[in-house]
């Protein structure tokens, strides 16, 4: 099946529902603060990205917000003075960036497409690639790292958030419905390959995005193989106890990597 198209439509539906926090545009107050140089953005669910992961001055900095639509990070960076391109698989998510840009008089370039194919951008086009948790919806993340490295200038940085793959070794249906952590799957994980026919049919009828669990070698090793040096790292979790695993360990990781 065409996973890219399926997940595009699924995320368009997430936007329409208005319930997913990654689809809710920032307020006027957030943009006003950013214009004064005060801001906070997320790569993962809960913990803000450290301020020292960003340049002291955003003026003339070229930023690619990769799989980062939703009217959140891109408008903030634009309000800080950066030259911002928002690239996302979901047009509805990009429309949220456009909505905030028009509301606030911001200049944001929007591009719809697959994060594994940035061929429309020339080599060394950006100083910063900002890539929040989203590669769990992508079957193959190696091209994402390779393309990110290609479009970065020398010394440019990729800031990326991701699920720690072990989240996917557990039976998520049992965890959500019964609060039981039962090891069921191997890594790498894929909804398409690892759910049984009835479970997959349920997910697809509900219109939920299909997910993938990648190994740390794919997440971190993949960045290193792409020619990026890891220079920063932190972990994060969901903001509540709805996910049983949340009680025992962090679920997300965030990396700061630099093009050599």
The structure tokens 């994402």 sit at: 144
Would residue 227 count as lying in a domain?
yes
Evaluate the omega torsion of the peptide bond into residue 188 and state whether it is cis, within 30 degrees of 0: yes
Would residue 206 count as lying in a domain?
no
Would residue 38 count as lying in a domain?
yes
Would residue 103 count as lying in a domain?
yes
pTM above 0.85, yes or no: yes
Would residue 101 count as lying in a domain?
yes
Where in the sequence is the domain holding 103, given as residue range(s)?
Answer: 3-165+212-259
pLDDT one digit per residue (tens) for the chain, 260 residues = 899 999 999 999 999 999 999 999 999 999 999 999 999 999 999 999 999 999 999 999 999 999 999 999 999 999 999 999 999 999 999 999 999 999 999 999 999 999 999 999 999 999 999 999 999 999 999 999 999 999 999 999 999 999 999 999 999 889 988 999 999 999 999 999 999 999 999 888 888 999 999 999 999 999 999 999 999 999 999 877 678 998 899 999 999 999 99
Question: Which burial class, exposed, middle or buried, applies to 55 when counting CB atoms under 10 A from its CB (0-12, 13-18, 19+)?
Answer: middle
CATH code, domain with 155: 3.40.50.150
Would residue 72 count as lying in a domain?
yes
Q: Which whole-number Å values give the CA distances from 192 to 80, 154, 195, 199, in the listed order?
A: 41, 38, 6, 10
Would residue 196 count as lying in a domain?
no
Would residue 35 count as lying in a domain?
yes
- What distance in Å separates the CA atoms of residue 107 and residue 74, rounded to the nearest whole number? 10
- What distance in Å separates the CA atoms of residue 191 and residue 184, rounded to the nearest whole number? 13
Number of domains comprising the chain? 1
- What distance in Å separates the CA atoms of residue 54 and residue 219, rounded to the nearest whole number? 21
């Amino acid at each position: 099946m065409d996973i890219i198209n399926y997940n595009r439509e699924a995320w368009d539906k997430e936007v329409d529902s208005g319930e997913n926090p990654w689809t809710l545009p920032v307020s006027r107050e957030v943009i006003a603060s950013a214009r004064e140089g005060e801001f906070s953005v997320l790569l993962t669910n809960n913990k803000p990205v450290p301020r020292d992961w960003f340049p002291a001055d955003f003026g003339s900095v070229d930023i690619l917000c990769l799989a980062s639509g939703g009217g959140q990070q891109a408008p903030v960076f634009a309000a800080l003075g950066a030259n911002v391109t928002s690239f996302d698989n979901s047009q509805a998510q990009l429309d949220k960036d456009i909505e905030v840009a028009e509301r606030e008089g911001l200049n944001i370039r929007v591009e719809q497409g697959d994060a594994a194919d940035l061929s429309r951008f020339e080599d060394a086009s950006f100083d910063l690639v900002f890539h929040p948790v989203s590669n769990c919806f992508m079957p193959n993340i190696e091209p994402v790292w390779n393309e990110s490295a290609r479009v970065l200038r020398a010394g440019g940085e990729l800031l990326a958030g991701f699920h720690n793959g072990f989240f996917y070794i557990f039976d998520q249906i049992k965890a959500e419905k019964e609060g039981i952590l039962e090891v069921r799957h191997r890594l790498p994980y894929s909804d398409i390959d690892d759910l049984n026919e009835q479970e997959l049919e349920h997910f697809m009828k509900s219109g939920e995005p299909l997910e993938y669990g990648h190994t740390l070698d794919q997440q971190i090793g993949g960045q290193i193989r792409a020619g990026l040096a890891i220079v920063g790292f932190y972990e994060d979790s969901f903001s509540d106890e709805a996910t049983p695993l949340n009680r025992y360990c962090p679920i997300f990781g965030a990396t700061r990597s630099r093009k050599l």
